[in-house]
Amino acid sequence: MKILHYPIFLFLLLAVTGCKKQEKAHKETTETVENSIVYASGLELYKHHGYTIIKVTNPWPNATESFTYVMQQKDAVVPDSLKKYTTIQVPLQSIVVTSTTHIPAMEMLGVENTLVGYPGTDFISSEKTRKRIDSGLVKDVGQNEGLNTEIMIDLSPDAVVGFSISSNNKSMNTLKDSGLTVLYNGDWTEQSPLGRAEWIKFFGALYSREREANIIFKQIVKDYNDAKKIAQNTTEKPTVMAGAIFQDQWNLPQGGSWGAQFLKDANADYLWKDTDGTGSLSLSFETVLDKAENAEYWIGPNSYTSLTQMTENNPHYGQFQSFKNKKVYSFGTKRGPTGGYVYYELSATRPDLVLKDLIKIFHPELLPDYELYFFEKLN
């Protein structure tokens, strides 16, 4: 009898043991993991044992859909409930990105050598990545509106990090149909300086470098908030205007935009701070002149590099007091060797440097030893 029942006993023992293992695995995969994102409103990150879940909840303005991606480490087990989402083996070995704002995050994480393609490589200003471009290690893959599918397929990157202004992105859809893995990045939709910078954690997850990304971002937050506190050490709030004319309309930041937030944190009185919206205002020249003729400072007049260039383009710029007093500051003078703007590339990842620049401009006595990084006073 004992011999006859031993196989049954063994089967039951294995079954119970298996159930316990499955129960343990189930607990591991259903455990509550907190979103590690603090400032970004369109990104969520959930780090589990062996894999990380990325949720891009605002890929473009007023988006009604979101995207979930699973970053799976080698030999890790991903729950069946997540297998309906795009799953990628990490760390990535090759990548194509589509915005210059992605370049600094990769370089800060030390993974720039995985970049194999970019649309419009002349826009990249970073010395590190430019060397790779000049050496032929980074291919120009066309334009964002029409990426060269043949080159992209030939490169066969582990992932393509793209962005879109709406749900109808033919270029990205074509890449998906061609079998390439496309990940949407919505850093540009963020409306707080630290929210934009926190997207470095997106790239941290792609390369299994979440810890490094957290350390880097934590330092940026500290430096930004320290600078913000310094700006409060004065009661003076100089009046500030911004922007310039483009196609007969004066474009400037709305009151709820990240640009306006920078000016507020620098303890300046932005003349359009009370306007609603997070994008840009399009106003007539007369409207801007009426409100800002006596503004003390003028920040970001497009990409102009001199006062002479400004008045050659539009003589009416000379009517503003900030222009007459030569208190116009532009980022247009800081460019890479092939014309890329350092500000457009780096400012999203390093808002602490932008804020220090503005504090130095408006309250130079508060940062006596600091030298402007992005902006320059126009002559």
pLDDT in tens, 38-62: 999 999 999 999 999 999 999 999 9
Give the CATH number of domain 29-220.
3.40.50.1980
For the chain, list the strands marked E by DSSP: 43-48, 51-56, 67-73, 86-90, 95-97, 115-118, 139-140, 142-143, 146-147, 159-162, 182-184, 239-242, 244-246, 249-253, 269-270, 280-283, 297-299, 328-330, 376-377
Alpha-carbon gap, residue 237 to 269, rounded angstroms: 5
DSSP calls for 313-355: H-GGGGGSHHHHTT-EEESTT-B-TTS-BHHHHHTTT-HHHHH
Alpha-carbon gap, residue 40 to 297, rounded angstroms: 30
| Per-chain mean pLDDT for the chain | 92
3-class DSSP assignment, residue 271: coil
Geometric angle at alpha carbon 153, from 150 and 155, rounded to 5°: 110
Which pair of structure tokens corresponds to residue 50? 């062996």
Q: Which residue has the tokens 């290690």?
A: 137
Q: Where in the chain is the domain with CATH 3.40.50.1980?
A: 29-220, 232-377
Q: What is the mean pLDDT of residues 76-82?
A: 96
Alpha-carbon gap, residue 140 to 206, rounded angstroms: 22
pLDDT score for 4 = 42
pLDDT in tens, 217-266: 999 999 999 999 999 999 999 999 999 999 999 999 999 999 999 999 99
pLDDT in tens, 186-198: 999 999 999 999 9
Distance linking the first and last C-alpha atoms of the chain: 102
pLDDT score for 2 = 42
pLDDT in tens, 348-359: 999 999 999 999
Q: Tell me: pLDDT of 87 over 60.
A: yes
CB neighbour class for 376 (10 Å; exposed up to 12, middle 13-18, buried from 19):
middle
pLDDT score for 31 = 60
pLDDT score for 256 = 95
**Could you confirm whether domain 232-377 is CATH 3.90.870.40?**
no
